[in-house]
Amino acid sequence: MKFTLLICLTLCLFNIINGQTFSVKGTVTDDKTQRPLKGAVVRIVGSDGLDAIVKTDSTGYYFFDSSKLKSNTSYIVSADASDQDYLASSAKANITTVGLTESKIFTADFQLRKGGVIVDRFFPLLRFYYEKADAVGSLPDSLNYIVRLLKDNPTIKIEADGHGSPDEKDAMPLSMERALVCKIYMFTQGIDSARIVAKGWGSTKPLEGCSKSDIRKMKTKEEKIQACEMDRRVEFRVLSFNYKPKDKQ
């Protein structure tokens, strides 16, 4: 403990003697309500080997003082509140003191998203052709967002919900096949299959305004076709935040 304190004081004095001090401050908030998150973990990793964490206070504020940051060094700052069911931020702050000749206080704010919600609105829409499990457009373009989300949050488990449209005769098995197509792709990208639960809902959970009765009321053929196309989809939601690989159980 005394040795660690001596190192921190030495680094701080070195920067002061050279007329430079560096620090990082910021806040962590809920991305929807803007409510400050108390107890969120903020981590800073430096090219000099630094790896330190602090927790936010009741106002969501955190601070790394000048004993942590040195001159001519680069750092990555990230935030996490998975113990409060928040997804880790994929956006990380990259800061550097390399080449700086004056003191500076860096600011890095983070907004975290609550888990347990449908997340399809945050990535390119994943739709499917009529009576097929083939995706419209590029499957990787749509699913790589989810892959990145899972890699950024290694303890979460998700559900892939496959859906069909009311005009499809085999909507139930098709919806399951669509969910499985997504699960298999993510497995090929290094995601443990145990972290993804695939479910098929057939046409039992249409989007708002796209139910069978809604479609019947539509005046044009084009409107009906578009509504059915919207229903042929896969959505994702977070099931839990406590996944542990078998080798760590």
Domains delineated in the chain? 2-114 (2.60.40.1120), 120-248 (3.30.1330.60)
Q: Which residues lie across from 111 on neighbouring strands?
A: 29
For 2-39, how does the pLDDT look when each residue is reduced to its tens digit (9 = 90+)?
A: 444 444 444 444 454 456 899 999 999 999 899 999 99
pLDDT at 132: 95
Q: What is the mean pLDDT of residues 41-47?
A: 95
Query: Is pLDDT of 189 > 70?
Result: yes
Contact (Cβ atoms closer than 8 angstroms) between residue 162 and residue 127: no
Report pTM. 0.71
**Which of 121-125, 137-141, 242-246 is the least confident region?**
121-125
Looking at residue 200, what is its pLDDT?
A: 97
- DSSP letter string, 181-225: HHHHHHHHTT--GGGEEEEE-TTSSPPTT-SHHHHHH-SSHHHHH
